[in-house]
Amino acid sequence: MSILIKNGYVIYGENLDVMKADIYIEDNKITKIGKNLNISADYVIDAKGKVVSPGFINLHTHSPMGLFRGLADDLPLMDWLKHHIWPKEAKLTREYTKAGAYLGALEMIKTGTTAFLDMYFYMDAVAEVVLESGLRGYLSYGMIDLGEPDKTEKEIKVALETMKFIEKLSSERVQFVFGPHAPYTCSIALLKKVRELANEHKKLITIHVAETMTEIGQITSRYGKSPVVLLDDIGFLADDVIIAHGVWLDSKDIHILARHRVSIAHNPASNMKLASGVMPIERLLNAGVNVGLGTDGSASNNNLDMLEEMKIAALLHKVHNLDPTVADAKTVFKMATQNGAKALRLDAGVIKKGALADLVIIDFNQPHLRPINNVISHLVYSANGNDVETTIVDGKILMLDREVFTLDEEKTLEKAEEVVEKLAG
Ligand SMILES: N[C@@H](CCSC[C@H]1O[C@@H](n2cnc3c(=O)[nH]cnc32)[C@H](O)[C@@H]1O)C(=O)O
Ligand SMILES: [Zn+2]
């Protein structure tokens, strides 16, 4: 299949140069970019007055958690998890989780996310949804053993079964990732086993680390060191690890993360909503750490809108540092696109010849996005996910002019309501 996108403002290359150009897509790759391309294509999209951007990469989420949107707000993390979310999750079945995953996938397509890194239960069901939706999913089964050896075995077994299930799908778009939940919910034995398995099967690892001060207190009193030093001491850290949050990091921690080329998924909305704290963005970027952007789940955000997340990231770090030059628009835009791709080892996040055709078209023919003085600024500070009009992943059109082709919108919304009624009953 081929697609020609004409007359748009293209955000080109790693440096985000905005230029008027046409883009030609063949199969799943961008094969030509230039002025007035005169080529015939299966689909021709007129993007006049619109912006063609790399698709957004959500580097940390729990996609089915949209089911719990608005059911437990205004609480700190440990209280939120232990007394509200975990009891609800205990009632989840495969079917319910799948309904949540459909809702999440639909929201991501409609707000311009093209790839996401997920951690949840029933990830085989989530994998089926990813396959059907056309998105790119990096899926981890969240492992929690709370130091019980039986549970360690069980969690590893489920993770390996999930890995096998995903590998059998043999789709480049669906990838398995190891997902030990956090240093405060996983034993050292589990973490060490995950490191071994990730080496053996050449898979990425994602884990929540240094999210709250409570966590730092718990890990320090249990092990006498910070979560990052602990992970380093057991040989867990490497360039295949993506830690979510990284809010409470001292200079030593940052140095360790940089040395091992660990990536971080920054989740500013979740960190603000749960009042977890503020990630030291400048110190991390100055140390050369790769920082991507994530929304976290919809029960702590409360949506999956990466455009909104960019604005929140930019504003948070400015006010926190009392310095408006921190987290400028370009830096934040790169976090939401190319840095996420780098963490996932994905040849996307940048529009250039030869890259995967994962891109979105944003409708700038609207008053809040005019005049077009600065495209990147508008995307970070003025736009939101609903301005995304067309979403293309792997060279396939998932949404055109806001009509989603791969999922049934009405059924997806209805099913989510049904599940929530059942969970309450
Ligand atoms: N096998 C595990 C499932 C863990 S999935 C990942 C978990 O992370 C939880 N979660 C969501 N957001 C956050 C966060 O910000 N920090 C820590 N955990 C979170 C989520 O609710 C879910 O329980 C079990 O038996 O409980
Ligand atoms: Zn999370």
Residue of 34 and 76 predicted with greater confidence: 34
CA–CA gap between residue 235 and residue 229 (Å, rounded)? 10
- From the number of C-beta atoms within 10 Å of its C-beta (0-12, 13-18, 19+), residue 156 rates as buried
50, 364 Cβ separation under 8 angstroms: yes
CA–CA gap between residue 379 and residue 348 (Å, rounded)? 19
CA of 175 relative to ligand 2 center, distance in Å: 18
- % helix / strand / coil in the chain, to the nearest 5? 45, 25, 35
The H-or-E segment that residue 242 falls in is strand 241-245
Which tokens go with 157?
């077994």
CA–CA gap between residue 331 and residue 325 (Å, rounded)? 11
CA of 25 relative to ligand 2 center, distance in Å: 34
> What pLDDT digit, counting tens, does each position of 177-214 carry?
999 999 999 999 999 999 999 999 999 999 999 999 99
Q: Which ligand is nearest to the CA of 144?
A: 1
CA–CA gap between residue 158 and residue 151 (Å, rounded)? 10
Mean pLDDT of the 404-408 span: 98
What is the reported pLDDT for 425? 72
- Structure ipTM: 0.94
Query: Structural domains in the chain?
Result: 2-54+350-404 (2.30.40.10), 56-344 (3.20.20.140)
> What pLDDT digit, counting tens, does each position of 225-241 carry?
999 999 999 999 999 99
Mean pLDDT of the 242-255 span: 98
CA of 237 relative to ligand 1 center, distance in Å: 21
246 CB-side CA count, 13 A:
35
How far apart, in Å, do the first and last CA atoms of the chain sit? 47
Mean pLDDT of the 404-414 span: 98
Q: From the alpha carbon of 62, which atom of ligand 1 is closest?
A: 11
3-state secondary structure of 172: coil
Ligand 1: residues with CB < 6 A are: 62, 77, 81, 85, 89, 119-121, 142-144, 181-182, 208, 211, 270, 296-297, 300
Residue positions forming the annotated binding site: 60, 62, 89, 181, 208, 211, 296
What is the reported pLDDT for 424? 85
CA–CA gap between residue 226 and residue 308 (Å, rounded)? 32
CA–CA gap between residue 191 and residue 415 (Å, rounded)? 36
- Of 114, 120, 202, 131, the C-alpha closest to 159 is 120
- From the number of C-beta atoms within 10 Å of its C-beta (0-12, 13-18, 19+), residue 315 rates as middle
Q: Which ligand is nearest to the CA of 269?
A: 1
Mean pLDDT of the 260-288 span: 98
The H-or-E segment that residue 396 falls in is strand 396-400
Which tokens go with 406?
């791969």
Q: Which residues pair with 138 in a beta bridge?
A: 117, 175
Probe residue for ligand 1, chosen from 97, 121, 215 as the CB with the greatest number of ligand atoms within 8 Å: 121
Q: Which residues pair with 371 in a beta bridge?
A: none
Probe residue for ligand 1, chosen from 208, 214, 267, 304 as the CB with the greatest number of ligand atoms within 8 Å: 208
- Of 26, 135, 116, 110, the C-alpha closest to 363 is 110
Probe residue for ligand 1, chosen from 63, 75, 92, 119 as the CB with the greatest number of ligand atoms within 8 Å: 119
> What pLDDT digit, counting tens, does each position of 318-347 carry?
999 999 999 999 999 999 999 999 999 999
The pairing of beta strand 17-26 with beta strand 2-12 = antiparallel
The H-or-E segment that residue 392 falls in is strand 388-393
3-state secondary structure of 9: strand
CA of 208 relative to ligand 2 center, distance in Å: 6
- Of 108, 148, 115, 137, the C-alpha closest to 308 is 108
149, 175 Cβ separation under 8 angstroms: no
